[in-house]
Amino acid sequence: MTTLGERIAGGLWGLLVGDALGVPYEFHAPEALPPRADLEMVPPAGFRRAHASVPPGTWSDDGAQALCLLASLLERRRFVPEDFARRLVAWRREGYMAVDGRVFDVGIQTDAVLAKLAAGVPPSEAAPRDERSNGNGSLMRVLPLALWHRGGDAELVRDAHAQSRVTHAHVRSEVLSPFTASGRGRSWKASRTPGEPRCSGSRPSTAPGRTLTPRSWSR
């Protein structure tokens, strides 16, 4: 029987492996993708992979931002927008939590927001709120919050809203982020062994290694 810690680590590994698997196929139309059975870290011969210079097994901005969120939660033991924002800026500028310290892709909106944060704009004011500013960037990184969270659904929704608002403040992004976090949080909580304690907030025992490796867990 797997332990709670193993299931949490499995969720994080799954996020990073799934992200890395998708990197070569990014920006391709569904009909241009290889058959499902041929979707591997190294695409089939003849497929024009995205990010051709990036080594197979490298996670993207989604995985790196998720690790930024995880590291902030573990160190601060609650969601602190300023600390999360600082780590996102460190990722963009220094490669914090990126494989080999290399940032090879960043969304246009996220890049603009991080520039504002680096210039000193508060996290509560940096992200745009207009109709065209409702991408999925904050949704893709939210899993660590659901796995770490020890409060009730109302607190989880509040924190999911807050982590989205740092870069994606349109109401649609804010609504979908807690919706996803709540669903994933319920899934793993339902699988807990009766009497098993909740997540203690300590680091997972299995930390990702090299091309499936952040440079550090805290900074």
Q: In this predicted structure, what is the pLDDT of residue 103?
A: 97
Nearest one of 3, 2, 5, 1 to 200, comparing CA atoms: 5
Sign of CA dihedral 179, 154, 159, 3: negative
Residues above pLDDT 70, as percent of the chain: 81
Neighbour tally for 12: CB within 10 Å? 20
Nearest one of 89, 55, 54, 86 to 72, comparing CA atoms: 86
d(C-alpha 193, C-alpha 180), whole Å: 23
Q: What is the pLDDT of residues 42-96, one digit of tens each?
A: 999 999 999 999 999 999 999 999 999 999 999 999 999 999 999 999 999 999 9
pLDDT in tens, the chain (219 residues): 888 889 889 999 999 999 999 999 999 999 999 999 999 999 999 999 999 999 999 999 999 999 999 999 999 999 999 999 999 999 999 999 999 999 999 999 999 999 999 999 999 999 998 878 777 788 899 999 999 998 888 899 999 999 999 999 887 777 777 656 655 545 545 555 444 444 444 443 333 333 333 333 222
Residue 37, both tokens: 């059975």
CATH topology of domain 59-190: ADP-ribosylglycohydrolase fold (1.10.4080)
Domain ranges, ordered by start, for the chain:
59-190
SS (H, E, C) the chain: CCCHHHHHHHHHHHHHHHHHHHHHHCCCCHHHCCCHHHCCCCCCCCCCCCCCCCCCCCCCHHHHHHHHHHHHHHHHCCCCHHHHHHHHHHHHHHCCCCHHHCCCCCCHHHHHHHHHHHCCCCHHHHCCCCCCCCCCHHHHCCHHHHHHCCCCHHHHHHHHHHHHHCCCCCHHHHHHHHHHHHHHHHHHHHCCCCCCCCCCCCCCCCCCECCECCCCCCC
Q: In this predicted structure, what is the pLDDT of residue 153?
A: 86
